[in-house]
Structure 1
């Protein structure tokens, strides 16, 4: 799950704003993977957050070369080998690498979770920018095509691959995308979830590291759950 450079207004970036956009984007992905997968009773998925500046080593000064500053998640997807058609989704392939996927329902659950988690990154970035600029944040203003403007080009390309595996019917693909976009939007826009995403983004910014491991992400998100004492909003 990579965060791409915005396709418009990139020249307006400052080093600090770009760094924050990346942090919120990847925090959205990570929080969704950790929390949504658990809500769907999917076994824990180990992953790492990676941040780097092109041509620089671990421990590099992140205050320079921000045009090349990127973030991505290693190991954040449940399905790396997608079934070619909807028909094959009805007979789960055993080579998914996920032992818990034993039924068509399990496979669909993993499929939907991956797409939701991919959408959560650019939606998180969009919400952060909207709040920073004092703008409203609605699912219609940040529909799937608009997410390309929030570092989501790579995410949308992957989602397109998922949808073509889901169905050969364009209308059915659009319906599924709109359904999962609504779920991802509601997740990011939920007060409790957004607090968790914001706390994780703050941790990413303060840590200033090239790699943040799964255990660090889990500690931040579980700490936020404990602070809220009421759990996270229902999906």
Structure 2
């Protein structure tokens, strides 16, 4: 069954460019789904507060989900961390420090699997259900030819392992579930803005382009596809 025919609730984790455009796109194609954004910055009354680095916030997140009258059908984690005013991707070993490594792992690896843990008790095993999380091609160990970006690469690789393992467990518990690990391509967002100079204009996607590509992948997948690491064009990325 296509997502456009589903009834229930969609949770979009993260209120960045991709999260917001995914929300808008889903509302357009799936009028029977209630789309709710979960983030630290709340805009709509229906939004749910969630701080991905705070365990108490996850407890409140679960309490909010428990109040839903409709089943959760789709959860998409669009959160990610690459840089800030103080943290930049490491170009060489000498740039590494513990705090930067922990920050990358906290958002890119630990948060996605804790989201899955929080929503597990609300999954209806008799209904199709999808959990998707944005990864990155640079998280591929087999595709690593340039080096650098130590913490970001490693944290995305760790997320991939967490979610591959999750897909195996959920295939036993929830036979209609699908876990998707998705690379959106290089998207014109705040996250990638400082690193776009070497990207060909045809390979720099708008948030709306990436959102449509990824939603279409999620919509076409079957339970037998669960646990795959896929690019925006449906190609399989090596682990």
Which TM-score band applies after superposition, normalised by the shorter structure? 0.3 to 0.5
TM-score by length of 2: 0.32
Using CA pairs under 8 Å that are at least 6 residues apart, name the structure with larger relative contact order, 1 or 2. 1
Query: Which structure carries more helix by proportion?
Result: 1
